[in-house]
Structure 1
């Protein structure tokens, strides 16, 4: 049998020695200063040695106290380290997501903090490119969010993320107070090369004649919106991508209420059918659909 003083008295002494204060030791151990003093006195009685000298509310270690404090500090550090190693680590999973750069920066990225708060054990690993990816050839990906037209293939589940509105967007600085329906043809029209809805589609849908003049074009929705914010002209782009600029007033929907709306399914959630039961994919899937439905409701 080991002959040792009480663990509580050793802990009280080590804390008082380390902090050089009975008061601070009491706060750390959630005891009263008198309880710390009582534990230390009991240890001194056991060892038949004075461990502290006490004067003017200060305590200083004696030689015997310094020797014991050094040994206890090392021993407690070792115990703390092995206990930390033995405690099971939090289980974390990673989910590899691929999408277009604009979807990542303009829509998904701003929402990821909320997702991480809801699912703290799931870490998103994101990659992006404008090109579509074949889920059957890229085993490193868990899900892909495709844009535009999607080629159906066996073994891959493809689900639309709801219809989204494409609308003419411009800086409010470009629009006169007396803006009329036909006036949009006088503005510079910015073409978004990857958007499946083009200006010719929009003009035809609204029974308007499209002007015959040059159109600046960009191959990223983020660039198109940035150009519109800077006042280059009118962007025809997804409202889904422009929610931040619309909210802060950098952009407005041109002629809201004057034109017929265009809504199409343009983003699709894709994953391998073999992974259908994967919990992390279902969690991300359900969260993404909720976010998409919330946006659709706001529109």
Structure 2
């Protein structure tokens, strides 16, 4: 049944497709780039279609190549997981999740106790940072939770958590706040205008254009810093419903004009196609989906 299946060529193709480079695939497989090229060409002849397009900094999958990669990558993951499960001491009880510092600190970490309680056999490692990882190239990361308005067609999107933005402050500050422009706590992301646009949209919805000229502005690069500043009474903060939920529950922040809210983006849990079948990843994504549903 599998006598004519080009196993070596498929393994080579998977590495080249995941890394988007024949050179990097060669280094991973301990062969030459020429050998990788020969294996890919042999596979293309076997199938009868082109799998890659050459681009200046590597290679890009064709539509046919993308379809094949999704299935081959998942199949090889399945085989690797079965082999690991057969070992006397399986090494598959860990997973790595990549996300931003703010999402990790303000939403994910406070809830992880429930994951560990439900799945004590698994250990989760957080890889927090501002730069998104390439899940198709970096095999060390199992899941990424990304904040964006766009879709990720090359990845498996497991679940999403939508958000809205409102203005919050320390209870005493909100109690005495009138229509006069207050001091504002804001976030200045280095690579996204989303937060600034959120302030503009909220001021327009609230009918408070004067707030665009605040009494003072205290800017931070991370949302969890901004929330701590607002809790300390430095000013009112525009905050995501996702990020502020625990502070509101604790009573350290209260909404100002709670009837005014603007739509935000979404936090989406992503992984490389096929990786969602890996037992720790499957368990984490199922747990995360339930947490997203309850907010």
TM-score scaled by structure 1? 0.61
Cα 1:176–1:274 shift into 2, 3 Å: closer
Distance 1:172 1:251 in 2: 6
Which structure's relative contact order is higher, taking Cα pairs within 8 Å and 6+ residues apart?
A: 2
Query: Conserved in 2, the CA contact under 8 Å of 1:160 and 1:266?
Result: no
Query: Conserved in 2, the CA contact under 8 Å of 1:218 and 1:224?
Result: yes
The CA deviation string for residues 24-56 of structure 1, in whole angstroms up to 9 with x for no partner, is xxxxxxxxxxxxxxxxxxxxxxxxxxxxxxxxx
Secondary structure of the residue aligned to 2:175 is coil
Query: Conserved in 2, the CA contact under 8 Å of 1:96 and 1:125?
Result: yes
Query: Conserved in 2, the CA contact under 8 Å of 1:102 and 1:221?
Result: yes
Is 2:164 aligned against 1:162?
no
Cα 1:132–1:229 shift into 2, 3 Å: same
Secondary structure of the residue aligned to 1:265 is strand
Q: CA deviation at 1:160?
A: 4.9
Secondary structure of the residue aligned to 2:203 is helix
Partner of residue 208, structure 2: 208
Cα 1:137–1:149 shift into 2, 3 Å: farther
Query: Conserved in 1, the CA contact under 8 Å of 2:166 and 2:258?
Result: no
Cα 1:285–1:172 shift into 2, 3 Å: same
1:87-126 to structure 2, matched below 5 A, reads 93-126=93-126
Q: CA deviation at 1:216?
A: 2.1
Q: CA deviation at 1:149?
A: 4.2
Distance 1:237 1:106 in 2: 12
Cα 1:230–1:117 shift into 2, 3 Å: same
Distance 1:219 1:128 in 2: 14
Distance 2:115 2:266 in 1: 22
Distance 2:148 2:124 in 1: 23
Partner of residue 286, structure 2: 286
The CA deviation string for residues 197-229 of structure 1, in whole angstroms up to 9 with x for no partner, is 431121123343143245221111100100100
Distance 1:134 1:150 in 2: 15
Q: CA deviation at 1:265?
A: 3.3
Partner of residue 196, structure 1: 194
Query: Conserved in 2, the CA contact under 8 Å of 1:163 and 1:266?
Result: yes
Q: CA deviation at 1:172?
A: 1.0
Cα 1:150–1:96 shift into 2, 3 Å: farther
Partner of residue 175, structure 1: 174
Distance 2:161 2:108 in 1: 15
Cα 1:210–1:135 shift into 2, 3 Å: farther
Query: Conserved in 2, the CA contact under 8 Å of 1:91 and 1:121?
Result: no
Secondary structure of the residue aligned to 2:98 is strand
Question: Which residues of structure 2 form unaligned runs of 5+?
Answer: 1-87
Partner of residue 276, structure 2: 276
Query: Conserved in 1, the CA contact under 8 Å of 2:240 and 2:264?
Result: no
Distance 1:247 1:141 in 2: 32
Question: Which residues of structure 1 form unaligned runs of 5+?
Answer: 1-87
Secondary structure of the residue aligned to 1:165 is strand
1:33-52 to structure 2, matched below 5 A, reads none
1:65-144 to structure 2, matched below 5 A, reads 93-144=93-144
Q: CA deviation at 1:165?
A: 2.3
Is 2:181 aligned against 1:186?
yes
Query: Conserved in 2, the CA contact under 8 Å of 1:101 and 1:128?
Result: yes
Cα 1:89–1:274 shift into 2, 3 Å: closer
Q: How many residues align?
A: 201
Query: Conserved in 2, the CA contact under 8 Å of 1:95 and 1:142?
Result: yes
Secondary structure of the residue aligned to 2:237 is strand
